Amino acid sequence: NAGVTQTPKFRVLKTGQSMTLLCAQDMNHEYMYWYRQDPGMGLRLIHYSVGEGTTAKGEVPDGYNVSRLKKQNFLLGLESAAPSQTSVYFCASSRSDRAGNQPQHFGDGTRLSIL
Amino acid sequence: RKEVEQDPGPFNVPEGATVAFNCTYSNSASQSFFWYRQDCRKEPKLLMSVYSSGNEDGRFTAQLNRASQYISLLIRDSKLSDSATYLCVVNDNYGQNFVFGPGTRLSVLP
């Protein structure tokens, strides 16, 4: 099983460039999430989606946009990359569960450097 | 105050030792709780969910104290392969808001 797949694995951008990170899951999960992880700060939620066509802001949404046009895909866009967006980005998915008891499954991350 | 706080670590213990990690959370309405482990430069992976009555999975025991808003993870008979960062995760918005602690790093030494 592929689980959660992120592309690309690594990327170096110049300040002001744009790019899109792709997350794909084959587990038929309703919920999908984008996090960033910086040293000493743990994972912080950027945006999330509770279903196809719906997205919502997380803790640190500024500078990012997302789209969930298909249930299995969740895209994270950087319109104008800034050095502060240098980080490791993780995508996750989970089954829908109003009680919140379903754990998340993570992709193996995208390491993004902005010069 | 951070929403989820953990022992700062790192913990350096010899093989075979018992080690305990603590986690506190600030939102009393939190619904569900988890421990994840994260190896260096890898993605977080679910270690175990934490249930109100406490639960055990082999050498790992998790406890939840809702009154004190406190979660613990106990690892018995530590193995070299247990070396990782352990993340406490709290869900407080009906499946939509997983809040991660900063993690506690464990190194098990031969």
Angstrom distances, CA of residue A21 to CA of A14, A17, A32, A50, A113 = 16, 13, 14, 19, 13
Looking at residues A85-110, what average pLDDT do you find? 88
Which residue does chain A place closest to B42, by CA atoms?
A108
A106/B98 CB distance under 8 A = no
pLDDT tens column, B54-64: 899 999 999 99
B22 touches A: beta carbon within 8 Å: no
A90/B43 CB distance under 8 A = yes
CA distance B103 to chain A (A): 7
What is the DSSP annotation of B31-87? -EEEEEEE-TTS-EEEEEEE-TT-EEETTEEEEEETTTTEEEEEE-S--GGG-EEEE
pLDDT higher than 90, residue A63? yes
Looking at residues B41-50, what average pLDDT do you find? 93
CA distance A97 to chain B (A): 6
Angle (nearest 5°) at CA B24 between B5 and B55? 125
Residues of A in contact with B4 (CB under 8 A): 42
CA distance B45 to chain A (A): 7
Residues of B in contact with A109 (CB under 8 A): 41-43
> CB contacts < 8 Å between A and B, how many?
65
Looking at residues A6-23, what average pLDDT do you find? 96
pLDDT, residue B93, reads: 64
Residues of B in contact with A50 (CB under 8 A): 95-96
pLDDT, residue A62, reads: 95
A107/B43 CB distance under 8 A = yes
